[in-house]
Structure 1
């Protein structure tokens, strides 16, 4: 009976091993940084390489401000990126997922530096969200929420107008 109870473990171990070839350090590496451009035309941006944030003011263009994330915020984001496997092979086209033509276009680009590796992820509006794309969008929203409550961001002007 004992041998039978281990039979289910091998397929699970093989599946887990096949999920990602990326090895993530348990602790956030010193070289961890990211940049994410998102929103209409990819005009919003959070960039930890340069500690800058760009806010889209719609009719009034964009405004850039210096905002650094805390070590605690960076560690939390790192853990969330590991959970999503942001350095792995993400395929947004799987499971019938397709890009939608929207006007104006919603565009996202991530640049992630981690453990000496650089990964770029780009996509436009997605029609059928997979678990990967939903997790990445939640992470993007989480990062925006961190930035939006900071005093420096709160001092920025409100957007003028809106996108149709």
Structure 2
């Protein structure tokens, strides 16, 4: 009888261990990892871009195409962005598509590629929907935070102004 109880105990332990989720990938490291980097393409046609892997920024000039410059972010700027990503728990965002059938045109899109400790995550949001998903505003706020950093730099301010518009 003791053997049966012991075997049931071991079997139960084994089953409960199999059901445990590996949470190490679901938690961002406290400090910014050395391999941290991201790119975000955004706007109509995703023509704007901030890319820390290549140290470039691309501005959509609408009727006049795009302009790309070398504009690497500082370690401090990247660290502050990393902290914002950690605050919004970017690696666990699930609600990025709203439950709606209403669509608009033209629309803006955000396409992300983020590397954190060897893991790549690729959040994507579309402004084609009339309503916003639960986590969508967090990602838009983060993108706007990054855009404000970039737009405050002298090099960016020297870029030509956009002309025209989207209909």
Q: TM-score range by the shorter chain?
A: 0.7 to 0.9
Instruction: Give the equivalent residue in structure 1 for 2:162.
Output: 159
The total of aligned residue pairs comes to: 145
TM-score, normalised by the number of residues in structure 2 = 0.79
Q: Structure 1 residue aligned with 2:73, among 55, 69, 72?
A: 69
In structure 2, the CA distance between the partners of 1:50 and 1:142, relative to structure 1 (3 Å rule), is same
Deviations 1:116-152 (A, max 9, x none): 0001112211432244111110010010000001111
In structure 2, the CA distance between the partners of 1:98 and 1:140, relative to structure 1 (3 Å rule), is farther
SS at match of 1:135: helix
CA–CA separation in structure 2 for the residues paired with 1:34 and 1:99: 31
Residue 20 of structure 1: CA displacement?
9.6
Residue 85 of structure 1: CA displacement?
1.6
Instruction: Give the equivalent residue in structure 2 for 1:117.
Output: 119
RMSD: 2.1
In structure 2, the CA distance between the partners of 1:106 and 1:117, relative to structure 1 (3 Å rule), is same
Unaligned ranges ≥5, structure 1: 1-18
Show structure 1 runs of 4+ deviating over 3 A: 96-100
Larger Rg: 2
TM-score, normalised by the number of residues in structure 1 = 0.81
SS at match of 2:130: coil
